[in-house]
Amino acid sequence: MNLLERELHYPLGDTLPAPGEALEVAPGVRWIRMRLPFALDHINLWLLRDSLDGVEGWTVVDCCIAHDEARAQWEHVFETQLQGLPILRVIVTHMHPDHIGLAEWLCTRWNAPLWISSTDYHVARVLSTAGDTLAGGDAAASFFASHGLVDPEAVAKIRARTNYYANMVPSVPDRFTRMMDGDTVAINGHAWRCISGYGHAPEHIALYCDDLKLLLGGDMMLPRISTNVSVHAGEPEANSLRLFLDSIDKFKALPADTLGLPSHGKPFTGIHRRVDQLQEHHRDRLAELLEACTARPLTAAEGLPILFKRELDLHQMTFAMGETVAHLHLLWFAGQVRRELGEDGIYRFGPRSATARAL
């Protein structure tokens, strides 16, 4: 447990659900933990006891990526954890593969509707059918190159990674029910309020239940790691970090004793303090980048080691590049640095006194 985690509280201690089992964390709310083949090696999924149109069953929150191991884990859950009841609804917090990858499989198997924000639904539909424009392909390679990632081998690998999303999200249901900020979703007689979040995904939806004092925070409120907040080729002028920091402030309005149910990590209390920690973390990183940019104009590739001191593989590098651009963009939009486009076609962020053409 790191120093920041010591400021939070984990009511279940080190208890984790056994593989393929569901651990009850509150009345009618069960925690499933599935493995992921990444450095971030797990995702938390949730089973909520429910009743729809007079039929008793379960609502699923998030799905895991589409791969055989996850399907096998779900099959075990179906056989042993559902008490003979069906899946009635599939809620997806956002469109990232570990959250939506098996949504179509689950919805088809159980004839259950998908609930998701409209923005994330349509982005997922595009990426699963038209090729990945965020983490791979020509657009992504050109975007990263414009921010200084010009190593030929890295650029070639990014350019060749055209089916990254579709490999984990091969299809998306052809219809959905929209969730929007402020909507109330009735689950098992309890009202769950939708809380929108931006910066990490196009329109992330967290769910809060005042009766149970529970927050299904998705990726917007994680206890141990800082959520990835990136600028990508699909929206190259985004101010993603500003959107994220403004979004997580919403969680300070929740009761102090709310139990956070995150997509990664363990259930925790101390959400108000966690918001402060994340704000402080990004404020410190912004200050480091601003100091470096004041000394001399930097590309995002040159600024990346300031934010990420560990060695990164290419998969991690693309996320880190996107996050570095997000930090630089916040400084740029705030008027603290000047962005310049060099004759080499690369953006650099430097002191406001720079004489080169600003864009």
pLDDT band at 228 (very low <50, low <70, confident <90, very high): very high
Q: According to the model, what pLDDT value does residue 39 have?
A: 84
One-letter amino acid for residue 35 of the chain: R
| Tens digit of each residue's pLDDT (9 = 90 or more) over 279-301 | 999 999 999 999 999 999 999 99
Q: According to the model, what pLDDT value does residue 315 have?
A: 81
Average pLDDT rounded to a whole number, residues 217-234? 96
Average pLDDT rounded to a whole number, residues 316-338? 96
Does the structure show a pLDDT above 80 at 346? yes
Q: Residue 302: which residues within 8 A CB-CB, separation 6 or more?
A: 148
* Coil vs helix vs strand at 353: coil
pLDDT band at 355 (very low <50, low <70, confident <90, very high): very low
What is the spatial distance between Cα 303 and Cα 293, in angstroms, rounded to a whole number?
A: 8
CA torsion through residues 170, 133, 34, 173, sign: negative
What is the spatial distance between Cα 200 and Cα 223, in angstroms, rounded to a whole number?
A: 16
Q: According to the model, what pLDDT value does residue 133 have?
A: 63
The pair phi, psi for residue 320, each rounded to 5°, is: -65, -40
Average pLDDT rounded to a whole number, residues 200-217? 98
Nearest Cα to 271, choosing from 27, 7, 1? 7
Give the count of beta carbons closer than 10 Å to the beta carbon of residue 184: 12
Contact 117, 195 (CB under 8 A): no
Q: According to the model, what pLDDT value does residue 130 have?
A: 74
Q: According to the model, what pLDDT value does residue 87 have?
A: 98
Average pLDDT rounded to a whole number, residues 110-121? 98
Does the structure show a pLDDT above 80 at 13? yes
Does the structure show a pLDDT above 60 at 356? no
Q: According to the model, what pLDDT value does residue 4 have?
A: 76
Strands (E), 128-252: 177-178, 184-187, 190-197, 204-209, 214-218
What is the spatial distance between Cα 301 and Cα 91, in angstroms, rounded to a whole number?
A: 37
DSSP output for 55-110: EEEEEEE----SSHHHHHHHHHHHHHTSTTPPEEEEE-S-SSHHHHTTHHHHHHHH
Percent of the chain residues past pLDDT 90, beyond the cut: 89
* Coil vs helix vs strand at 197: strand
Contact 346, 299 (CB under 8 A): yes
Contact 173, 217 (CB under 8 A): no
Q: According to the model, what pLDDT value does residue 5 have?
A: 78
Give the count of beta carbons closer than 10 Å to the beta carbon of residue 322: 24
Q: Residue 320: which residues within 8 A CB-CB, separation 6 or more?
A: 304, 307, 308, 312
Does the structure show a pLDDT above 80 at 354? no
Lowest-confidence pick of 35-44, 95-104, 292-301? 35-44
| Tens digit of each residue's pLDDT (9 = 90 or more) over 236-283 | 999 999 999 999 999 999 999 999 999 999 999 999 999 999 999 999
pLDDT band at 163 (very low <50, low <70, confident <90, very high): confident
